[in-house]
Amino acid sequence: MPSQIWWAALVAGLLFFGPLVVSLIPDLSHRSEYRVSAEQITLTQGPEWVPADLVQQVFANGGFLDNELSLHESTLSERIAAAFHTHPWIEKVVSVRKTWPAHVQVNVLYRRPVALIRTTDGLYPVDRYGVLLPAADFSPEDMTRYPVIEGIRSAPAGRLGEAWGDAAVTEAAQLAEVLLQEQAGTSWWKHLQLQGIEVPQAPQGTTVDSEFELVTPGGSRILWGRGPSTSHPGELDVQQKLDRLRELQSRYGSFDGPHGPWQIDIRSWRGIRRTAMAPSQPATDRIR
């Protein structure tokens, strides 16, 4: 019986004095070493095309984050991850790590631009998935570094950071990514001296995969075929096509000479077919 009385008294004391004790504990959330602002957030080092003020942009856009946050906030990591995930330059938030004194390390994967889509409204940069990127972050010089994709007849279906919404854009962006891959210190795009990627208009009513043409500075057109992810039977793989282009360039010096421009078909298993495009040069040859 005495023990029961003791326990009852202890419980009653906790119920009575507990709130008073809690009220006497200082609120640390307002102290500077527990407060997090944009200056206390470190982001994964970004490539040259990512704006230096990206953290400030995240704080300024849409009110996802307050000007100052507290390390004591139970959902702080989730809120920060969600806010950074909405930025069009960020493909994925990998982790959010809180440390004391107030500091947050956000590790992310950035989107990489691979091409510009030309429409009647201008040029739209996209990543390898056809996701729309902020054109305002590109200088005129930046715009010259990427393949220009011509012949897209759709407009972006989403906002910045969202997919264009056209399978032809996605496939063309995948092709641009392949051509930007480096070999021997330079990209295929520069090594082959290409100028653009074109999506010829498919016959009305057809549902076949998009086929692409590569355009050279001298006006030659290389019939590339379907995109890199195609599973169409009989389609040459990407490396076979690149090897053919390298062989052709090695043989003639450029795709435009001699006596170009040419239509160059690299799609057939039987070899490369080259046809002069100028009326005065009706020659056709097959290069095996």
Q: What's the first-to-final CA gap in the chain, in angstroms?
A: 103
CA dihedral 280, 219, 151, 158 (to 10 degrees): 180
| Distance, C-alpha 33 to centroid of its chain | 36
Looking at residue 28, what is its pLDDT?
47
Half-sphere exposure of 107 (CA within 13 A, CB side): 5
Looking at residue 27, what is its pLDDT?
45
Question: In angstroms, rounded to a whole number, what is the distance separating the alpha carbons of residues 111 and 84?
Answer: 13
Question: In angstroms, rounded to a whole number, what is the distance separating the alpha carbons of residues 74 and 97?
Answer: 13
Looking at residue 22, what is its pLDDT?
40
199 contacts 150 by C-beta, under 8 angstroms: yes
Partnered with residue 104 across adjacent β-strands are: 41, 98
Domains by residue range for the chain, with CATH: 29-110 (3.10.20.310), 113-287 (no CATH)
Amino acid symbol at 59: F
Question: In angstroms, rounded to a whole number, what is the distance separating the alpha carbons of residues 152 and 169?
Answer: 7
Please list the pLDDT of the chain residue by residue as tens digits (288 residues): 566 665 555 555 555 554 544 444 444 445 555 577 888 889 999 999 999 999 999 988 756 666 667 777 888 899 899 999 999 999 999 999 988 888 899 999 999 999 999 999 899 999 999 999 999 999 989 889 999 999 999 999 989 999 999 999 999 999 999 999 998 889 999 999 999 999 987 554 445 678 999 999 999 999 999 999 998 998 999 999 999 999 999 999 999 988 889 999 999 999 999 999 876 555 666 555
3-state secondary structure 170-197: HHHHHHHHHHHCEECCEEHHHHCCCCEE
